[in-house]
């Protein structure tokens, strides 16, 4: 069944696609940088400095090794990375169009592309600076090469792309049913012998090149002083298995149910197209009308079920998993363009409204607050210093403490990662209270249902940091009694803030004086005072930004 677009309908679909891409391009430059994007950049910086210890799911550091050398601040480097991801997305969309055109027709393929672009979370996260866009592009490229058939080199290249994608993220395994679906289609089209030969070439190359690249990648990291990596294939299997059990072995199904409901509500046209397409494909299989294509479509819908058990099904995961899954919308797109043409205008209107709502939602979530804190941190610390933060907002500095993701906080609550130990070891003079757990530790009056730091970790932050400007805190002490003792965990030069004079460790110190304090116990007399790390650190005279450092996904 060949569908076709009238000239008017074709223009409408192209306008929707162009509008979605334009909105996304604007958000690439404007939208708040997520903590995962900072973490992604932080891995690249560590590898660039020869300090990356873990080879697992860090292969991307080789693809972006040039980024730390770009003469921009961290946020603008991420924007540059997003532009690369935007290019990856365009390539992935071409692959989706090519696959759908091969399975059906050009008109339906174009509509499927529009449905993906207008689905919830796509314009915000389709080109985000993380593993997903690169891996999705490589896998969609492999699928397009396999469905194209023909020359053996296409199978060879498909295997290379799949190997690299799996080294970037093991989430690529979710695409496996789609590869099986393409195998079913190509088998029927080209015959058993030719299909098996080409898919065998791709599979062997994936395994062989993946093993070689893993050993090479692990050996490079094992050569760094920071590495604790075992680059063996056995270690890869063990780490991969542990990671899989962590993110999939859940007692609770639909762990990210709220995001799933939001995806459905915000992109109802896309969701209904997937559901309708799958139902039509199942009916075709049962009735033996185009059963091979129907089976291919149903297999392409299977990655959607990862939302049931995958604990990291956050908004950025949806564009990644929906790219191949959109093939399942093909039967619905064909039916809309043939038997349901009277509903076409309504579908386009729904897509346009969905785009407008998404853009209006994400437009206020800008980078203004992040840019102010980034600039201030670099001004206060012209030389990189250790710091504590939710992620790695300052990757050119030395990160102290753990990544405060949901999994990171879960591990912390189990006693795996101690923030107190990191403070004692690294002596970080800078803290950005960008996570609820950090904010609550520094200000116990705050309340939230988010996981909190363990009491001993919260106490060491509360006792050793003072507010400098907004959410930027520095090492310091608030001396609240007339005299007493205090313990210094973070050594360095301190500025005495008070009125008059105080006696510190038996020496009279004028207020405003600077002096070095080492680790350990110290004494003071003379009344209340504040000790602030650094030599009269710069503090802006304007109010701190009221917006959060990070917005919700």
What secondary structure does DSSP assign to 455-520, as a single string?
HHHHHHHHHHEEEEETTEEEEEEEE-SSEEEEEESS-EEEEEESSSEEEETTEEEETT-EEEE-SE
- Sorted by sequence, the CB contacts under 8 Å of residue 474 that are 6+ apart come out as 380, 429, 430, 431, 465, 466, 468, 532, 533, 534, 537
Mean pLDDT, the chain, whole residue set: 92
Q: Tell me how far apart the alpha carbons of residues 192 and 480 are, in angstroms, rounded to a whole number.
A: 82
- The answer to whether the predicted template modeling score (pTM) of the entire model surpasses 0.85 is yes
For residue 432, the 8-state DSSP code is: E
**The pLDDT of residue 228:** 43
Q: Rg of the chain over CA atoms, in angstroms? A: 27
Q: Residues of the chain whose pLDDT is less than 50?
A: 225-229, 236-237, 239-243, 246, 249
DSSP letter, residue 59 = T
Q: What is the pLDDT of residues 264-308, one digit of tens each?
A: 999 999 999 999 999 999 999 999 888 899 999 999 999 999 999
Spatial separation of the C-alpha atoms in residues 89 and 437, rounded to whole Å:
34
Between the CA of residue 37 and those of 166, 233, 320, what are the distances in Å? 19, 28, 15
| Closest alpha carbon to 85 in 34, 51, 147 | 34
Calpha distance 370→393 (Å, rounded) = 9
Residue spans of alpha helices (H) in 223-343: 233-248, 257-266, 268-287, 291-301, 306-309, 317-325, 330-338
At 167, is the secondary structure helix, strand, or coil?
Answer: helix
Phi, psi of 523 (to 5 degrees): -120, 150
Residues 6+ apart with CB under 8 A from 421: none
Domain residue spans of the chain = 7-362, 368-533
- Predicted confidence at residue 251, as pLDDT, reads 58
d(CA 444, CA 440) in angstroms, rounded, equals 5
Q: Which of 113, 122, 158 is nearest to 139 (CA)?
A: 158
The torsion angles phi and psi of 493, rounded to 5 degrees, stand at: -75, 135
CA distance 160 to 213: 10
């Amino acid at each position: 069944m060949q569908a076709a677009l009238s000239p008017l309908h074709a223009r409408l679909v192209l306008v929707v696609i162009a509008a979605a891409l334009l909105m996304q391009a604007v958000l690439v430059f404007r939208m708040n940088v997520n903590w995962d994007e900072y973490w992604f950049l932080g891995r690249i910086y560590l590898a660039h400095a020869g300090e990356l210890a873990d080879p697992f799911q860090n292969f991307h550091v080789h693809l972006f090794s040039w980024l730390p050398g770009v003469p921009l601040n961290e946020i603008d480097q991420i924007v540059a990375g997003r532009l690369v991801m935007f290019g990856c997305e365009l390539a992935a969309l071409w692959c989706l169009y090519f696959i759908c055109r091969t399975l059906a027709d050009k008109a339906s393929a174009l509509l499927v592309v529009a449905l993906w672009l207008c689905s919830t979370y796509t314009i915000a996260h389709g080109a985000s600076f993380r593993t997903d866009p690169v891996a999705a592009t490589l896998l969609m490229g492999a699928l397009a090469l396999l469905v194209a058939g023909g020359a053996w080199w296409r199978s060879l290249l498909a295997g290379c792309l799949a190997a690299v994608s799996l080294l970037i993220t093991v989430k690529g395994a979710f695409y496996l049913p789609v590869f099986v679906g393409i195998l079913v289609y190509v088998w029927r089209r080209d015959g058993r012998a030719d299909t098996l030969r080409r898919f065998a070439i791709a599979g062997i190359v994936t395994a062989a090149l993946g093993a070689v690249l893993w050993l090479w990648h692990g050996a490079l990291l094992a050569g760094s002083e920071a590495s604790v990596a075992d680059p063996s294939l056995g270690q890869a299997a063990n780490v991969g298995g542990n990671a899989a059990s962590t993110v999939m072995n859940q007692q609770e199904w639909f762990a990210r149910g709220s995001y799933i409901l939001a995806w459905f509500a915000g992109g109802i046209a896309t969701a209904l197209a997937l559901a309708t397409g799958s139902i039509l494909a199942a009916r075709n299989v049962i009735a033996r009308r185009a059963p091979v294509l129907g089976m291919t479509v149903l297999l392409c819908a299977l990655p959607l079920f990862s939302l049931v058990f995958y604990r990291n099904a956050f908004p950025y995961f949806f564009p990644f998993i929906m790219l191949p899954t959109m093939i399942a919308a093909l039967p619905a797109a064909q039916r809309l363009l043939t038997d349901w043409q009277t509903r076409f205008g309504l579908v386009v209107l729904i897509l346009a409204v969905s785009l407008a709502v998404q853009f209006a939602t994400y437009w206020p979530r800008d980078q203004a607050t992040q840019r102010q804190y980034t600039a201030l941190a670099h001004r206060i610390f012209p030389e990189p210093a250790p710091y504590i933060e939710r992620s790695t907002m300052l990757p050119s500095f030395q990160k102290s403490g753990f990544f405060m993701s949901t999994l990171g906080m879960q591990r912390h609550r189990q006693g795996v990662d101690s923030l107190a130990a990191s403070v004692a070891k690294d002596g970080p003079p800078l803290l950005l209270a960008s996570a609820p757990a950090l904010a609550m530790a520094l200000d116990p009056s705050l309340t939230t249902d988010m996981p909190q730091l363990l009491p001993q970790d919260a106490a060491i932050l509360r006792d050793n940091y003072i507010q400098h400007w907004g959410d930027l805190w520095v090492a310091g002490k608030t001396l609240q009694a007339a005299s007493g003792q205090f313990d210094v965990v973070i050594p360095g030069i301190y500025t005495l803030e008070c009125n008059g004079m105080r006696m510190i460790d038996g020496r009279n110190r004028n207020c405003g004086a600077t002096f070095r304090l080492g680790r350990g116990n110290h004494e003071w007399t003379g009344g209340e005072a504040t000790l602030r790390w650094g030599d009269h650190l710069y503090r802006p005279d304007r109010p701190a930004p009221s917006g959060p450092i990070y917005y919700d996904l």
